[in-house]
Amino acid sequence: MIQIRDTILSDDIFEEHFICNLTKCKGACCVEGDSGAPLERKEFEQIQSILPEIWDDLSPAAKALIEEQGIAYTDYDGELVTSIINGRECVFTYFDADGTCKCSIERAWREGRIRVQKPVSCHLYPIRLQKLGEYTALNYNRWSICKPAVKLGRSEGVKIYEFLREPLIRRFGEEWYNEVCEAAKLLEEEKNATCGEP
């Protein structure tokens, strides 16, 4: 475990490889799972405010569910999460021509129609955040559906913290991320020094 400011990062984030491979997984993380994507209260309010802008992008099933229970609910862990359709896909998903599940919020943001990005919990995946008193723990969430992502990451030599540069900076800031990179460099140097010992 590595502590940087008020965060604690698992070693896996520095050691394991990962690059999302949508052509293989088809965005299964937006469909599979026990509950929706975790939301911070501020994110809930932001998404609620831009709902009219993306309403026409949502499926009829998503619209019906949102009208019935709203964009989010509290799951069995007491977390605020996005509503999901029939225990499956998030209400903000859509499927492209290849059957890949994608995010309507992200598409509208990239097209410049809204200023709100998809939930940071989605953006950060496969890292999951957990509050530990005054600290925030960052852990690698291993999931079988992400095996193609691990394989691609290994082939390209990209570690988790490198792949998630943009969302990590979004959540914790660029100075914090630079410290993560410094920690990764030191860990690599220590590893190489240990391997070189007789």
pLDDT tens digit string along 55-83?
999 999 999 999 999 999 998 888 899 99
- Output the CA torsion 152→156→157→160 (10° steps): -50
**11 band by pLDDT with thresholds 50, 70 and 90:** very high
**197 band by pLDDT with thresholds 50, 70 and 90:** low
As a whole-number percent, the residues of the chain with pLDDT over 90 amount to 78
Residue 4's SS3 state is strand
pLDDT at 98 over 70: yes
Question: What H or E segment, with its residue span, contains residue 130?
Answer: strand 127-132
The pLDDT value given to residue 118: 95
Neighbouring residues of 43: CB distance < 8 A, sequence distance ≥ 6: 119, 120
**34 band by pLDDT with thresholds 50, 70 and 90:** confident
pLDDT at 31 over 90: no
The pLDDT value given to residue 195: 63
For residues 108-123, average pLDDT: 95
Instruction: Quote the CA–CA distance of 124 and 76 in Å, as a whole number.
Output: 22
Instruction: Quote the CA–CA distance of 102 and 94 in Å, as a whole number.
Output: 5
Question: What H or E segment, with its residue span, contains residue 80?
Answer: strand 80-82
